[in-house]
Amino acid sequence: MPKRLLLVGAGHAHLTMIRDWSDADKKDTEWILLSPGPYHYYSGMFSGLMEGLYEKEDVRVELGPFCRRHGGSFLEGAAVKIDYRKKQVQTDRGDILYFDAASINIGAKTAGASAGPGAHVLKPALEVPDTVERMRFAERPAVIGSGYGGVEMALSLQA
Ligand SMILES: Cc1cc2nc3c(=O)[nH]c(=O)nc-3n(C[C@H](O)[C@H](O)[C@H](O)COP(=O)(O)OP(=O)(O)OC[C@H]3O[C@@H](n4cnc5c(N)ncnc54)[C@H](O)[C@@H]3O)c2cc1C
């Protein structure tokens, strides 16, 4: 029986690992990637998206084909509960996934902020293309947070 590896979250580490994992090392392993949406958006290109240098198709990985190309499968859903004793993960869509080993790479959320009418957060990044679109066409857009990401986004917006 192949062992089942469950990769929770399509973060950078998981996508790189899937891409670089050799066929020999994957032998006897069945793996599944779980992530809330069909795409993973690459944050290093968000500013270029804001500036209009890229289209949204340029800055994302389509997870289903990516997984199939590398010999695994993809399931859409967010992990809401992990039971290590029973070795199972429950998703927000009601699926129960069993695993022999699980790896978690679900990224971070923007601290202390919540999206509301007219306010959008960049992390998690599922809605980034919509956020960027709204910001680009807003009459008076404001970027809150002066970390590298905020400054980069503000300058791109100005450009
Ligand atoms: C505007 C901006 C620009 C940036 N530019 C750079 C840069 O140039 N270079 C750099 O090094 N860093 C940059 N960063 C920081 C970088 O985005 C993060 O450090 C990096 O994304 C963290 O990677 P990660 O794999 O941990 O998570 P993420 O890239 O956030 O990936 C997490 C994945 O897990 C999924 N997920 C979330 N919750 C669940 C769940 N419950 N169940 C299943 N899946 C889930 C998400 O949908 C996502 O696909 C930038 C950030 C921003 C906001």
Q: For residue range 14-67, what is the model confidence (pLDDT) as tens digits?
A: 999 999 988 878 888 999 999 999 999 999 999 999 999 999 999 999 999 999
The residue whose C-alpha atom lies closest to atom 26 belonging to ligand 1 is: 107
Backbone Cα Rg of the chain: 18
6 CA → ligand 1 middle, Å:
19
Ligand 1 in contact with 9 (CB < 6 A)?
Answer: yes
Atom of ligand 1 nearest to the CA of 80: 41
Domains of the chain by residue range: 3-158
Measured CA to CA in angstroms, residue 139 lies from 121, 127, 142 at distances of 18, 20, 10
This prediction has a pTM of: 0.92
Mean pLDDT of the chain: 92
With DSSP H G I counted as helix, E B as strand and the rest as coil, what are the percentages for the chain, rounded to 5?
Answer: 35, 25, 40
CA of 119 to the centre of ligand 1 (A): 19
CATH of domain 3-158: 3.50.50.100
Mutational test site, ligand 1, from 32, 43, 76, 80, max ligand atoms within 8 Å of CB: 43
Tell how far the Cα of 14 is from the centroid of ligand 1, in angstroms: 11
Q: Separation of 109 CA from ligand 1 center, angstroms?
A: 9
Residue 22: predicted pLDDT: 82
14 CA closest ligand 1 atom index: 25
The answer, yes or no, to whether residue 123 has pLDDT greater than 90, is: no
The burial of 40, by beta-carbon neighbours within 10 Å (0-12 exposed, 13-18 middle, 19 or more buried), is given as: buried
